[in-house]
A and B are shown apart, each in its own frame.
Chain A
Amino acid sequence: MSDNGKPRFAMYWAASCGGCDIAVLNIHEKIAEVAAAFEIVFWPCVMDAKYADVEALPDGSIDLTLFSGSIRNDENLHLAKLLRRTSKILVAFGSCASEGCIPGLANLSPVNEMVATAFETQSTDNPGHVRPTPSWASPEGEIRIPTLAPVLRTLDQVVEVDYIMPGCPPESARIAEVVDLVIAVFAGRAELPPKGSVIGAGTSTVCDQCARQRDVKKIAAFTRIQATAHLDPAICLLEQGIPCSGPATRDGCGALCPAAGAPCIGCYGGSDGVMDQGARLLSAFSSVIDAREPGDIERILDGLPDPLGTFYRFGLARSILRASRPASAGNGHEPPVTARAPGPALAGSAGGTDR
């Protein structure tokens, strides 16, 4: 609590795009209610404050912190620990903090490769092969920049988190509802949900909120909306061959994307009881492919050129494997191999008696 009796509020952006902050601001005039109800002590997107101010705060003195963005470097980690110490309620806000989101896809590459791509690709003029260094002795003193961790992590993989609010970004309408709830809680008119809950979202999947007609699934081909001359607006997108992640994605967004003619890409993460959203999508889509022969199955799956990216677009950092092998190994000093001999056929037809 602050001196004037108003609960303290903080919002931070770690490795993020800033969209979550915008989503909060997108509650429009309601933001005035937030300003009225809370004392905002730290919100880099919106006001000026220094880390030192937060470091000086006593433990638990911030009543509510919304932490967006994932943990990519040591600065993010420092703030995660700092805000955990100083906050009563810490919310992993948005997909980056909850499950890694798009920055999590960096877990497919080792860090040195990412840096090389950023500093040495065709569009970068870098004849001196300059690379960022963790520290540099300038005439005025040592300058340090944050160090990239080998693997990106979600907030709850580094500190204990009280609530998770999914979405990329969380829908502003849901944010508004949560704001109302929190204000009511601090006013003693409502109870907080059980610690560890997912807030601002549903308990089923996007299909629950999607108005499209659903039938039995038999996928003969995968395609893209760009490659489809006419999409039936009334029928399930998956049945029309569009990979829609709705069946494995938590609801709460109102199924806005399918309603607009675009497939759900899974930004709200897996629903209750889903351990690995990508694995669920992988299992569900492949189960209903309309093919029995290995050749036909492969042909239909060729319509999904990047299944890893499609299924794990948002949840890679939270998935079971979490990062690709080279990425999790750290630097991976071996140069990337561009061509590899194909592995053995999937079903061990080699070495068996003829059938």
Chain B
Amino acid sequence: MSSAQERIGVYVCHCGSNIAATVDVEAVSEWAGQELAGRGVVVARDSKFMCASSGQELIEKDIEELGLTRVVVAACSPHMHEKTFRGACARAGLNPYLCELVSIREQVSWVHSDRAAATAKAKAVIAGGVLRVGEHVPLEPLRVPINPTTLVVGGGIAGISTALEIADAGFPVHLVERQPSIGGHMAQFDKTFPTLDCAACILTPKMVDAGMHKGITLHTWSEVTDVKGYVGNFTVTIKERARYINAELCTGCGICQEKCPIRVQDNVFEAGLGFRKVAYMPFPQAVPKYPVIDGPNCTYFEKGTCKACEKFCPTNAIDFNQVDRDVIVEVGNIVLATGFELFDARRIEQYGYGRLPNVFTSLEFERMSNAAGPTNGRIVLRDGVTEPRSVGIIHCVGSRDRNYNSHCSAICCMQSLKFAHLIGDHTDATVHNFYIDIRAPGKAYDEFYQRVLEEGTIFVRGRVAEVTDSLRLPAEADAEGRLIIQVEDTLVGRQRRIPVDMVILAAGLEPPADAKETARLFGISCSSDGWVIERHPKLDPVATMTDGVFAAGCALGPRDIPASVSNGAAAAARILGRIQQKEMAIEPVRATVDEARCSGCRICNDLCPYNAIVYHADRAVTEVNPALCQGCGTCVAACPAGAISGTGFSDAQILSQIEGLLMVSASGQLREVVPA
């Protein structure tokens, strides 16, 4: 047995009482020292907190004084402290990869209640670790250079903040945005809570900064279509869609927009409430200021006629021959700031959105309330003329609802309070807010809620059952033509039918529809509902599990503007740190092909999603590119000739671990080995 030839130290942690309360740590340590002595264990100790300096010093001292060649620590999950114990070994002069941390906490003491069974399992886990570590070989982490250019995907407030932080520090950024202008959803808003700052007023200076910044290259009306590479060295393909406008010549004068004869409903920026031309700028403060021609709706593309824009353009900037073009950029890090989409309120049929004209979504209302919006800031019904006498605002539409999304969308309560206030500002309408809970956790948020309360908004605690235009009760006769909100007022304990003229649905936040494709494209994980999964929800909220790819803003989950901006700054700080250090160490878990054993059967060739497997036809052998290999081990397992080996998770290591894990019976006895 390979482990028997080593000098192995075993360290069993009490973790206070986290492990010791369920696992008999002293017994396990003693057992390891005695029963695994034949397998190479020369010392076994237990300690209250192995991760504390005293615990680490135990290891360092034994390495130096006892000449340990391998170390096994039985404690918490490797995801917690693998680095810690590797560090202790390195300080004592032992290659850090000769240390194995096995979990007897998350996977034993915390999940089992029977002390005897847990103790037995801990022994088995340690035996597995001891036999495995005997097969470890010294490894050096791979060092990769870090390209100082960064890619930011998504030009909303989170993406813009990130880009500005990095560019202001002196490093180039490519900012990619799917829409013709950066700005994201924040550009659609009217005022921001709780200060009631005008969203455009605080956003546009940042947009202009980003647009003019020497360090930021904007790719709007663009999408990322391909990502190859690894941290520090990504090669990204950006498809810049044809605008049919020559940006070199365009002055942003807007004449093409004025002269364009075709109007279509603007479902993006105006949230369906207003119209735009086919040659259009999404909004007046758009950055970049170049318009875009909406090809599918354009008369020229459909029939070959019109070309009004071209006729009137003073600088000849219209170019109907433009085609999509691919731009390939090399970047070192990527930040995903792809934001959110609004829950489609049509899915809740009983609220009547899409059927009853005067039911609006929150985004539609933002546009309505916005002075630069399709109604010039007037709060009016769908007819564009009538002012509502009363408005009902329904919270949690598509959120906190097992039928649609279980999550809370974090910002809709504040947004709904804001609407209540704005309606009160602009009209004499009575406002009812229908809520489950009021979520106002931020700075000055609850004070804003109090203010809205004092302003006379009526709050009804209950889930709205239905928004309807059909009257039922005789008393509702004078509500002809209005909407009735049917709700259980839980504080009063009664069903109520409340007539209103206008209903606003605080629709929840959802990940973009193509979130899963995006995750796949960038090699990250997203949860089953589509939010990007962060590396640690508490302690590492902007990194993903994939080195080099970060996320900021609502791509991670619903959050307000200050949080999105903070996320962006955090991601930028991490990236700037990497750029400063110029290179980064990555785990040396890689596959390698032994050319002597490889017969060129090519069975592995199609198994690598990272294109790390390369076939050399001249030599009829396959090779794995260590720079691209991500260490999944799939090719190692597939190779019929056993020609591919995987460092860190080699066959010998895993087979030994299997043997060790099965050495101990369910009751903690060493199992007799029956020769086959």
Chains A and B touch (C-beta atoms under 8 A apart): yes
Q: Determine if A271 and B600 form an interchain contact, defined as CB atoms under 8 angstroms apart.
A: no
Which one of A214, A271, A281 has the highest number of Cβ atoms from chain B below 10 Å of its Cβ? A214
The contact of B603 among A206, A274, A284, A322, by CB within 8 Å, is A284
**Contact of A247 with B607 in the complex, beta carbons under 8 Å:** no
Let me know if A204 and B641 touch, CB within 8 A. Answer: yes
Interface centre among B638, B639, B642 (most CB of A within 10 A): B642
Does B259 count as interface, using CB distance less than 8 angstroms? Answer: no
In-complex Cβ contact of B643 among A246, A273, A288 (8 A): A273
Judge if B598 is at the interface, Cβ distance under 8 Å: yes
Q: Which of A178-186, A215-223, A330-338 contacts B (4 or more CB under 8 A)?
A: A215-223
**Residues of chain A with a CB closer than 8 A to B643's CB:** 273
A288 and B607 form a contact (CB under 8 A): yes
A176 CA to B353 CA, complexed, in Å: 87
Interface residues of B in 636-658 (CB under 8 A from A): 637-643, 651
* Interface: B601 (CB within 8 A): yes
Choose from A216, A272, A284, A322 the contact partner of B640 (Cβ within 8 Å): A284
Most chain B CB within 10 A, of A205, A238, A322, is at A205
Query: Does B321 have its Cβ within 8 Å of any Cβ on chain A?
Result: no
Q: What residues on A are CB-neighbors of B651 within 8 Å? A: 275
Contacts of A208 in B (CB 8 A): 599-600, 620
Residues of B within 8 A of A203 (CB): 596-597
Return the contact of A207 from the options B596, B599, B606, B607 (Cβ within 8 A).
Answer: B599
Other-chain residue from B606, B607, B641 in contact with A205 (beta carbon distance below 8 A): B641
Q: Is the CB of B642 within 8 A of A271?
A: yes
For residue A283, CB closer than 8 A to chain B, the reply is: yes
Closest beta carbon of chain B to A311's beta carbon, Å: 10
A287 at the B interface (CB under 8 A) = yes
- Complex interface: chain B residues within 8 A of A280 (CB): 639-642
What mask results when residues 342 to 355 of chain A are scored 1 for a CB within 8 Å of chain B, else 0? Answer: 00000000000001
CB neighbours (8 Å) of B600 from chain A are: 207-208, 214
Given A207-B600, A208-B600, A273-B597, residue A218 in contact with residue B606 (CB < 8 A): yes
Q: For the complex, give the distance between the alpha carbons of A314 and B183 in Å.
A: 67
B residues within 8 A CB of A275? 642, 651
The 0/1 profile, CB within 8 Å of B marked 1, for residues 187-222 of chain A is: 000000000000000011111100000111110000
Please give the distance in Å from A313's CB to the nearest CB on chain B.
15
Instruction: Digitize A266-293: 1 where CB-to-B-CB distance is under 8 Å, 0 elsewhere.
Output: 0000111111000011011001100000
In A204-253, the 8 Å CB interface with B consists of: 204-208, 214-218, 238, 246-248, 251
Find A217's partner among B528, B605, B620, B641 (CB 8 Å cutoff): B605
Q: Which residue of chain A lies nearest to B598 when distances are taken between CB atoms in the complex?
A: A204
Any A CB within 8 A of the CB of B676: yes
Task: Give the distance in Å from the alpha carbon of A274 to the alpha carbon of B651 in the complex.
Answer: 11
| CB proximity of B253 to chain A, nearest CB, Å | 52
Q: Are B606 and A247 in contact (CB under 8 A)?
A: no
**What does DSSP make chain B's interface, helix, strand, loop or mixed?**
loop
A275-B642, A287-B607, A288-B606 given as contacts; is B599 within 8 A of A204 (CB)? yes
Chain A residue numbers with a CB within 8 Å of B528 are 355
On chain A, the number of residues with a Cβ less than 8 Å from chain B's Cβ atoms is 31
Residues of B in contact, count (CB < 8 Å)? 24
Task: Select from chain A the residue with minimum beta-carbon distance to B602.
Answer: A214
**In the complex, chain B residues whose CB is within 8 Å of the CB of A270:** 642
Q: Is the CB of B602 within 8 A of A216?
A: yes
Cα of A338 to Cα of B641 in the assembled complex, Å: 36
Decide yes or no: A283 and B637 within 8 Å by CB, A204-B596, A207-B601, A288-B607 being known contacts.
yes
Measured between alpha carbons, how far is A215 from B622 in the docked complex, in Å? 12
Q: Which residue of A lies closest to B637 (CB)?
A: A283
- Contacts A218-B606, A288-B607, A355-B528 given: A205-B637 contact, CB under 8 Å? no
**Complex interface residues of chain B between 614 and 647 (CB less than 8 A to chain A):** 620, 634, 637-643
Q: Which residue of A lies closest to B651 (CB)?
A: A275
Contacts of B605 in A (CB 8 A): 216-217
Complex CA gap A309/B634 in Å reads 25
- A274 / chain B contacts, CB cutoff of 8 Å: 640-642
Q: How far is the CB of B198 from chain A (nearest CB, A)?
A: 43
Tell me the bound Cα distance from A251 to B620 in angstroms.
Answer: 15
Note all chain B residues with C-beta closer than 8 A to A251. 599
B603 contacts which chain A residues (CB < 8 A)?
A: 217, 238, 247, 284, 287-288
CA distance in complex: A322, B676 (Å): 9
Closest to B635 in A: A287
A207, A214, A238, A273: the one contacting B642 at CB < 8 Å is A273
| Alpha-carbon separation in the docked complex, A214 to B606 (Å) | 13
Q: In the complex, A283→B607 CA distance in Å?
A: 12
Instruction: Assess whether B601 is in contact with A214, with CB atoms less than 8 Å apart.
Output: yes
Within 8 A of A (CB), among B185-230: none
- Inter-chain CA distance A288–B641, complex, in Å, is 15
> B597 and A204: CB pair below 8 A?
yes
Cβ of A207: which chain B residues have Cβ within 8 Å of it? 599-601, 641
Determine the distance from Cα of A216 to Cα of B638 in the docked complex, in whole angstroms: 14
A202 to B600, CA, bound (A): 15
Q: Which residues from A are CB-within-8-Å of B638? A: 283-284, 287-288
Give the residue among A203, A206, A238, A248 with the most B Cβ atoms within 10 A.
A248
Picked from A205, A215, A238, the residue with its CB within 8 Å of the CB of B599 is A205
Q: Mark A147-180, 1 if CB is under 8 A from B, else 0.
A: 0000000000100000000000000000000000
Q: Which of B510-534 contact A (CB under 8 A)?
A: 528
Complex alpha-carbon distance, A127 and B6, angstroms: 65
Residues of chain A within 8 A of B640, CB atoms compared: 205, 247-248, 274, 280-281, 283-284
Complex interface: chain B residues within 8 A of A273 (CB):
594, 597, 641-643
**B606 pairs with A272, CB closer than 8 A:** no
Closest A residue to B617 using CB positions? A214
| Chain A positions within 8 Å of B639 at CB level | 280, 284
Does B597 lie within 8 Å of A272, measured CB to CB?
A: yes
Check if A247 sits within 8 Å of B599, measured CB to CB.
Answer: yes
B599 contact set on A, CB distance < 8 A: 204-208, 247, 251
Bound Cα distance A246, B602 (Å): 12
CA–CA, A220 and B651, complex, Å? 29
Known A-B contacts A204-B599, A207-B599, A271-B597; the reply to A247 vs B676 at CB < 8 A is: no
A215 to B615, CA, bound (A): 10
Which residue among A203, A207, A238, A270 has the maximum number of chain B CB atoms within 10 Å of its CB?
Answer: A207
A46 to chain B, nearest CB (A): 35
Whether the Cβ atoms of B597 and A217 lie closer than 8 Å is no
Binary interface encoding of chain B residues 164-201 relative to chain A, with 1 for a CB under 8 A from any of its CBs, else 0 = 00000000000000000000000000000000000000
User: Which B residues, 654 to 676, have Cβ-Cβ distances below 8 Å to chain A?
Assistant: 676
> CB distance A246 to B601 under 8 Å?
yes
CA distance A231 to B620 in the complex (A): 23
CA distance A218 to B620 in the complex (A): 19
In the complex, chain A residues whose CB is within 8 Å of the CB of B620: 208, 214
A215 to B641, CA, bound (A): 17
Bound complex: CA A292 to CA B484 (Å): 50
Q: How far is the CA of A9 from the CA of B634 in the complex (A)?
A: 48
Instruction: Pull 6 A–B residue pairs with CB atoms less than 8 Å apart, ordered by A.
Output: A204-B641, A207-B599, A208-B600, A273-B594, A273-B643, A275-B642
The 8 closest A-B pairs by CB, nearest first: A284-B640, A248-B640, A247-B640, A207-B599, A208-B599, A287-B638, A247-B601, A273-B642
- Measured CB to CB, the residues of B under 8 A from A are 528, 594, 596-603, 605-607, 620, 634, 637-643, 651, 676
Known: A273-B641, A284-B638, A288-B603. 20 other contacts (CB 8 A): A204-B597, A204-B598, A204-B599, A204-B641, A206-B599, A207-B601, A214-B600, A216-B606, A217-B606, A238-B601, A238-B603, A247-B599, A247-B601, A247-B603, A247-B640, A273-B643, A280-B639, A280-B642, A284-B603, A355-B528
